[in-house]
Structure 1
């Protein structure tokens, strides 16, 4: 049995996680601990506070007691708003506090793109333009080519959590670009687990979503590989062999 631990801020799309757990198989257990959301706002100051060490530390012991094999900070914006170096420092502090391998959704997006073996990506973000631009900068700092960014301008997680498939499809279509080899949809407040294959069929390319890559990252940290076609191309390919 492999136990995957997640620190998830507030309550918006946490039901994606039991759905994903069902698709992964009986020997994978998902453990999710809610952290304090604080002010629900897609503003830089609120997002930087969201992932403070004090907030994350509160849930770490609960995940350790649950027997988690790895822990992932399940907030895209709560990572990348600290920049490339800051996001990595955040994860190092989390790993030290947990005594476990650790990562974050922001870093998971980078690792997932690398796993797919692509380089040019488009971004469809629920965030306001200034926050969406920071995510693009974060990806570029990881040597990815961001060819297009579309901002939907939602005010916070509660609003994004109300979105269904029609809104997701509309954002995906608006954000996609002919040169993009994959589309990224950040924001862990979005319900996406039930829609990934439909999105990929619509666009004809891999689609990476926040909760999807978060779980994939935890599996990577736990040295597990699971074939789950319902979760998109990321969960159906063999790993890239580095030479």
Structure 2
């Protein structure tokens, strides 16, 4: 074996920007959707948080104590531009500000992003305050979501759900099913459709859904991608949909 006596030059970072991702143990979708970021010079560094189906308020709330620990595991002692907690319904059940506080406790000084905080910001950027809400959840899990949107100042024109209890099944829904559900759910007078759940494979087909329903579509992962990109100073379009074309 030869030990090369050469100077080793070190770059400051392997990629200029970096985003931490806290995904559920059962998540099939978020890391795939966030794969659009590394080619743009934004590294995605993921960890997993314990979660056990079914998707119920009690099971979602059980994640609260693990958020800080999960965030702290992402590149310890190194700064991140943002950390995304990738569960929409848990952000509602635990409390959106509580989740973001827990992220910041694990990674002080970072931009903490949830699907709810990003979704609200995205809808406001689109000028939409009258919306239709569509979830894959049961009515029991959807109701707190609807209450959260109303408390956030949005007028819900309609609320629909698909009554699924397992986020792995939510991730297996076909693009055709998602589009058909959006078309069936949209209520006239809505300025946008919010499609909840980071497990649902909707971010990559937002433009197709918009063609079907005729209004802007914001999905959980599309919103967090949009927010994470802006936290990294990237204002370009990574996926289809009107949100990604905003200046």
Structure 1 segments unaligned to the other structure (5+ residues): 239-243
Q: Is this contact kept in 2: 1:72–1:217, CA < 8 A?
A: no
Cα shift at 1:127: 0.5
Q: Give the structure 1 partner of residue 42 of structure 2.
A: 28
Q: Give the structure 2 partner of residue 227 of structure 1.
A: 237
Residues 174-224 of structure 1, C-alpha deviations (whole Å, 9 max, x = no match): 211111110011111111233111111111211111111111122233443
Question: Residue 202 of structure 1 aligns to a residue in which SS?
Answer: helix
Q: Give the structure 1 partner of residue 59 of structure 2.
A: 46
Cα shift at 1:15: 4.4
Q: Is this contact kept in 1: 2:29–2:198, CA < 8 A?
A: yes
CA distance in 2, matches of 1:170, 1:181: 18
Q: Is this contact kept in 1: 2:67–2:102, CA < 8 A?
A: no
The alignment of Structure 1 onto Structure 2 pairs a total of residues equal to 229
Cα shift at 1:146: 0.9
Q: Would you identify which runs of 4 or more consecutive aligned residues in structure 1 move more than 6 Å?
A: none
Cα shift at 1:32: 2.1
CA distance in 2, matches of 1:174, 1:78: 26
Tell me the TM-score normalized by structure 2: 0.86
Of structures 1 and 2, the larger Rg is shown by: 2
Larger RCO: 1 or 2 (CA < 8 Å, sep 6+):
1
Q: Is this contact kept in 2: 1:47–1:78, CA < 8 A?
A: yes
CA distance in 2, matches of 1:109, 1:125: 14
CA distance in 1, matches of 2:82, 2:24: 17
CA distance in 2, matches of 1:93, 1:15: 21
Cα shift at 1:171: 1.3
Map 1:1-243; keep pairs closer than 5 Å: 1-10=16-25, 11-21=27-37, 25-37=39-51, 39-50=52-63, 52=64, 54-65=65-76, 67-82=79-94, 86-99=95-108, 100-228=110-238, 230-238=239-247
Cα shift at 1:90: 2.2
Structure 2 segments unaligned to the other structure (5+ residues): 1-15
Q: Is this contact kept in 1: 2:22–2:47, CA < 8 A?
A: yes
Q: Give the structure 2 partner of residue 241 of structure 1.
A: none
